[in-house]
Structure 1
Amino acid sequence: MPSLHMLGHMVAMAVIATLVKQIMELNAEVNKLKDHLDNIKDPPGCMHQIIEGNERTEESSEDENKSGGGEEVSSELDEEKVKSNFVEEVVLTDDIDTAGQDILEHSSVYSSVWCHDGFNQVCQFENICYNNQADEFVMFKHESSIFENVIEEHGSITLDLSSVKDHNGMETTVVSLPSSALSSIKVKWVNETTLVFKPFLSGNLMHMFHDDIIPLHHTLKLLTMGNRYEKNNHPFDVRLFIFDDEFDVDDEVKQFYEVFSRFKIKSKQDFQGNEMTCFRSIFIGLSRATTWYDYGFASPQGPILDRRVQSSHIKSTVTYLRQHLPIPSILNSQEYIVLFSRKENRKIINEMELTMKILGTFGIKVMNLNFESYSLLELISYTSHSKGVIAMHGSLLILSMFLNPGCFIIELFPYAINPSNYTPYKTLSQLNGMGLIYKAWTNQIKENSIGHPDWPAESGGLFHLEEDKRETILHQTEVPPHLCCNDPSWLYHIYQDTVVNSSDISDLLQEVLSESLAMKKAANNSGNLLHPSKVKNVSCHISYADNSGKQDSNENKTRFLSVKWDIPWTTFYMKFESLHYEILFQSLDSDSDKTSTFVSSNNKFVIDTNCSGKCHVWIRAVINSYLTGVYSKATLCQPDFN
């Protein structure tokens, strides 16, 4: 008979065996559940999606660049290879937001597009992807897709990436696929609103500001509608995608682009790899509303005829840059003029003579500034605090956009260059509200110019031309009309060095300084050049005064037109030197359209008239003799009695 000790041992062993069996069964169930979950998470044929969003995008993008960037992709794609690279079984990441997950589950992703600045200009897309191997955007069409203000050709949309018109090197294409194709493509999603554009010659200041910076700022304001980030003096909550292989510019230039976004700027090299990059909301292109000059790719250069730009566009960008860039302050309160120097070409040979002439004649200090000795931020600071600038035609003159109203620009041109044919800075100065004074000077004496026919062709050299063509250019007195940008006559003459006539420049300076004083005085008293509001509540009648003693006839009576009206309400809040009214009078006694104009210094007016029946009256207010308001509605005047 077993002992109690043995019985206890046997019971314990039985209990342990039972527990082990139960544990093994539980583990088997757990493994089944894991397999089931994996099948739910990874159904074959769905798209692999990685969501980029908010703060995590910076780190994840950099990791992806380290692993996927740097590979050169052939432009001739093998169709099967591309297809296999982009097809992968689904792996839903844990950080996909609810909206994104709904989209995936219901397979309802499709593209739409709205263009806001004319056909195919500044276009907003929803749900399009960038294929880095084909270097194209692709949209996914569905019967619910919206296409507004868009022109398609052969199923594709060609878009301008820049504000520059008529330049086919600044375009991109958006091709089309059916929305169902997205389910078989490996993608990663970018959640931030993104703006895609391509800088146009950012190494040239004129192009950088005119074609990139001012249009970029205006476009960002349009697509964010002046949201809280700008109101709080923060950069825009929009990611910038530079549509170039890389954004390879100097840090001094790059900072002018970086200040507009709170995200790190991306370029094509940041979107390498085997997956497409898809964007929830993306804008392609820059607005042309702020540009004022056509560089002459299709016809000789000149001001844009239908330009929409106003001084407020430029001044808004200037204010933004001053708030966000470390532009140094100028502590010296002494008045001075800026003379931009050129050290390599297009030089003012007698620059020191000109400097001393100005100092001796006007007692005004001259700051001789150049790229070699000053940073761009320093050049901006000195320019913005000066009385005006003098310079040979060149991109540095775009810094005159930082000048205050009442300042001047004196632009100098080498021999044979007609200033009326090259007017980017004159046009800038004459934009309504800029308040800048512009003068141009051209060297008229050939002997005061030094050409460089032995230089490279792109710098004005002529040795690549046949002898007869060289001789023609060397004997020209004016550069003929031409297209941009490699006309040999233009390049030869614009790169000449010049001995300027100091007396001529001194005379021009005297003119602009006098005009500057008059302009500043007018600006101080003009209420910011605001016009009066419309005249309202006009009333009038025709009365008679008896000159004959007869009471029963109007034939010998003098007819008087009496008119009164309300003073325009906006004038109560404006500063001005004078206010008068123009009264336009038209008799309806005949079929004649003839009108008469009268002037009144107050809002009541009486005058004798030959109108015996009815007449019409219109009235408008005029401030400081030239700021006119809108005419009132036509008011019918009738006699008191017949």
Structure 2
Amino acid sequence: DKEKKDEYIVVFSRSTTRLILNEAELILALAQEFQMRVVTVSLEEQSFSSIIQVISGAFMLVSMHGAQLITSLFLPRAATVVELFPFAVNPEQYTPYKTLTSLPGMELHYVSWRNIREENTVIHPQRPWEQGGIAHLEKEEQERIMASKDVPRHLCCRNPEWLFRIYQDTLVDIPSFLGVLREAMKTKPNLKKVKTASTVHPGRVREACCQTSIQTPNEAKLTVSWQIPWNLKYLKVREVKYEVWIQEQGENTYMPYILPQLNYTFSDNIKPFTTYLVWVR
């Protein structure tokens, strides 16, 4: 009972494009349906790290289709991802986040809802093309796009019809939304929600740089520096060490080092006027 009380649903809120026009009504419906509190997060108003902190304990994440759904990576095991699609956008043709939830180790439940009622959409043909505007197109093409009921398959991601439809604002039909959600929850795997130990590994080091200095005709120094992986600050680790490999070009042997710092100057076995290959991880 205490675990149920602590659970909550997260709704991704947008303030400029792809709006959920009845967001407050959607939040109320979710709260009543699941008897849970519902919180909103926004990339426009919150830091990425604070959003991840909220999402990492959520029972469910609800969002319009968009890059913000990459944050479902940080959901706990057995959570549900609900992706909302605007009118004329077929969920079966846009599946990166559905694929993400099915990757080994994710153990997330995926649900998609599609607006099938054209009267529940608000279009923006006068916006810049990169936000779905079509005013720059020939009149016949504009009319064809506005009359279309289903975006045809296309290459990502500058197709004007796709942009026009994906940047619509949507009035979510609450009865159909809840109906889809109820059916999907019937097939949800019975996984116990636990915060598992992190299995996310650090990404690549960033901004790796090498500098050389010649001391004498027979002596040189090689300084290697780098920045921490982008995701390291989100991982709970007590100690971080870096592996540096140096190979003289044309040779088959390597000089390996394990270092705790983000820069180091090597002088042993470093020759002047010689090319070295360097790896850092």
Q: Which amino acid aligns with 1:404?
A: P
Secondary structure of the 1:483 match is: coil
Aligned to 1:374: 46
Aligned to 2:61: 389
Aligned to 2:134: 462
Aligned to 1:476: 148
Of residues 76, 85, 96 in structure 2, which corresponds to 1:404?
76
Residues 96-175 of structure 1 aligned to structure 2 (within 5 Å): none
Aligned to 2:125: 453
8 Å CA contact 1:463–1:470 kept in 2: the answer is: yes
Aligned to 1:353: 25
Secondary structure of the 2:116 match is: coil
Residue 431, structure 1, aligned to residue 103, structure 2:
yes
Secondary structure of the 1:520 match is: coil
Secondary structure of the 2:100 match is: helix
CA distance in 2 between counterparts of 1:520 and 1:507 reads 24
Of residues 396, 403, 414 in structure 1, which corresponds to 2:86?
414
8 Å CA contact 1:417–1:479 kept in 2: the answer is: yes
Aligned to 2:160: 488
Residue 506, structure 1, aligned to residue 178, structure 2:
yes
Q: CA deviation at 1:513?
A: 4.5
What's the RMSD between the two structures over aligned residues?
A: 1.8
8 Å CA contact 2:87–2:165 kept in 1: the answer is: yes
Gaps of 5+ in 1: 1-332, 524-642
Q: Looking at CA atoms only, which structure, 1 or 2, has the larger radius of gyration?
A: 1
8 Å CA contact 1:389–1:408 kept in 2: the answer is: yes
CA distance in 2 between counterparts of 1:511 and 1:480 reads 28
CA distance in 1 between counterparts of 2:181 and 2:70 reads 19
Higher RCO, 1 or 2 (CA under 8 Å, sep at least 6)?
2
Aligned to 2:260: none
CA distance in 2 between counterparts of 1:362 and 1:420 reads 27
Q: CA deviation at 1:361?
A: 2.4
Q: CA deviation at 1:511?
A: 4.1
8 Å CA contact 1:391–1:411 kept in 2: the answer is: yes
8 Å CA contact 1:408–1:512 kept in 2: the answer is: no
Q: CA deviation at 1:334?
A: 2.3
Q: Which amino acid aligns with 1:436?
A: L
Which moves more between the two structures, 480-489 or 342-351?
480-489
Aligned to 1:46: none
Structure 1-normalised TM-score?
0.29
CA distance in 1 between counterparts of 2:107 and 2:158 reads 34
Secondary structure of the 2:191 match is: helix
Aligned to 1:121: none
Secondary structure of the 2:135 match is: coil
Residues 155-304 of structure 1 aligned to structure 2 (within 5 Å): none
Secondary structure of the 2:63 match is: strand
Q: CA deviation at 1:510?
A: 3.1
* Cα deviations by residue, 1:346-393 (Å, 9 ceiling, x for unpaired): 000000001111112221111111112221111001101000201000
Q: CA deviation at 1:486?
A: 1.2
8 Å CA contact 2:109–2:189 kept in 1: the answer is: no
Q: CA deviation at 1:339?
A: 0.4
8 Å CA contact 1:340–1:368 kept in 2: the answer is: yes
Q: CA deviation at 1:507?
A: 2.8
Q: Which amino acid aligns with 2:23?
A: E
**Counterparts in 2 of 1:453 and 1:466: CA distance versus 1, 3 Å:** same
Structure with the higher helix share, 1 or 2:
1
Secondary structure of the 1:354 match is: helix
Residue 520, structure 1, aligned to residue 187, structure 2:
no
CA distance in 1 between counterparts of 2:122 and 2:173 reads 15
**Counterparts in 2 of 1:428 and 1:517: CA distance versus 1, 3 Å:** closer
* Cα deviations by residue, 1:154-177 (Å, 9 ceiling, x for unpaired): xxxxxxxxxxxxxxxxxxxxxxxx
Q: CA deviation at 1:481?
A: 1.3
Q: CA deviation at 1:480?
A: 1.1
CA distance in 1 between counterparts of 2:10 and 2:185 reads 14
Secondary structure of the 1:505 match is: helix
Q: CA deviation at 1:494?
A: 0.4
Q: CA deviation at 1:484?
A: 2.0
* Cα deviations by residue, 1:52-95 (Å, 9 ceiling, x for unpaired): xxxxxxxxxxxxxxxxxxxxxxxxxxxxxxxxxxxxxxxxxxxx
How many residues align? The count is 190
CA distance in 2 between counterparts of 1:512 and 1:337 reads 16
Q: CA deviation at 1:520?
A: 2.8
CA distance in 1 between counterparts of 2:16 and 2:6 reads 30
CA distance in 2 between counterparts of 1:349 and 1:341 reads 10
Secondary structure of the 2:26 match is: helix
Instruction: Work out the percentage of aligned pairs sharing the same amino acid.
Output: 42
Of residues 1, 4, 14 in structure 2, which corresponds to 1:342?
14
Q: CA deviation at 1:504?
A: 2.3
* Cα deviations by residue, 1:278-334 (Å, 9 ceiling, x for unpaired): xxxxxxxxxxxxxxxxxxxxxxxxxxxxxxxxxxxxxxxxxxxxxxxxxxxxxxx72
CA distance in 1 between counterparts of 2:54 and 2:177 reads 21
**Counterparts in 2 of 1:365 and 1:517: CA distance versus 1, 3 Å:** farther
Q: Which amino acid aligns with 1:367?
A: V
Structure 2-normalised TM-score?
0.64
CA distance in 1 between counterparts of 2:60 and 2:190 reads 15
CA distance in 2 between counterparts of 1:501 and 1:422 reads 21
